[in-house]
Homo-oligomer: A and B are copies of this chain.
Amino acid sequence: MKEGPDISHIAALIGDPARANILTALMDGRALTASELAEEAGVGLSTASGHLSKLAEAELIAPRKSGRHKYFNLADAEVAGVLEALMGLAARKGATRVRTGPKDAQMQVARVCYNHLAGRMGVQMYRSMIGRGLLVEDGEDVALTGAGRDFVTGFGIDVAGLEAGRALVCRTCLDWSERRNHLAGSLGRAMLTRMEDQGWMRRDPKSRAILVMEKGKAAFAAAFPET
């Protein structure tokens, strides 16, 4: 009974509906202000402020002050991963949130997870790169091979620049809808950004869904064929 870390405190934090809404809203990796999060959570500003300080205290989210605004981010990818895992558990009991609109279908296809591509397309990209020897898995970790560096560089990404940063370049993240890994880390983020820049896809500003352009579909399928 007295073994291992105390789960209950952190789970209770996630367990409040307002706080869960806040965390879910932050899952797309964008930084949001306290007011925006209050709106998302459906509570008053003062209430949200209390929630936010608790979440920050537990280091689930990271606050940053900027002028008279205060921005919040998820603390890191591990937190995002735990949230995805919880969604996985919740999803199997049909506990999806209320109405499933057209957006929900698109969310299965492509969505933002923290800051990288998730959903069927995220998984396809990951598996394609593994299958072609561009990425190699080692336990929980994943790394670029030599061929992978060339490929990614050709894709228009400055690998050396990523490696100079503090963030982990390659990282896996478990996709809750597909139940498979997809690519996270600074490379995952860069790949998504690059595809947006090229006009392959575009983020829905009101949700985590990603809209894929016609030309993007073809280009993506060519770049990341199923193996």
Residues of A within 8 A of B (CB): 1-17, 19-21, 23-25, 27, 40-42, 58-60, 78-79, 81-83, 85-93, 95-99, 103-104, 107, 123, 126-127, 130, 137-141, 174, 176, 179-181, 207-209
Contacts and interface: CB of A to CB of B under 8 A. Distances in A.
Nearest to A86: B7
Contacts of A81: 85
A97 B100 CA distance: 40
Copy total for this chain: 2
Given A3-B103, A7-B14, A89 B85 contact: no
Contacts of A141: 180
A210 B216 CA distance: 53
A89 B14 CA distance: 12
A2 B176 contact: no
A127 B104 contact: no
Given A58-B93, A82-B86, A20 B7 contact: yes
A98 B1 CA distance: 11
A59 B104 contact: no
A4 B174 CA distance: 15
A216 to B, nearest CB: 21
A90 B15 contact: no
A83 B139 contact: no
Contact of A15 (B3, B12, B88, B180): B12
A6 B97 contact: yes
Contacts of A181: 139-140
Nearest to A104: B3
A45 to B, nearest CB: 16
Contacts of A126: 139
A6 B24 CA distance: 9
B89 A176 contact: no
A212 to B, nearest CB: 17
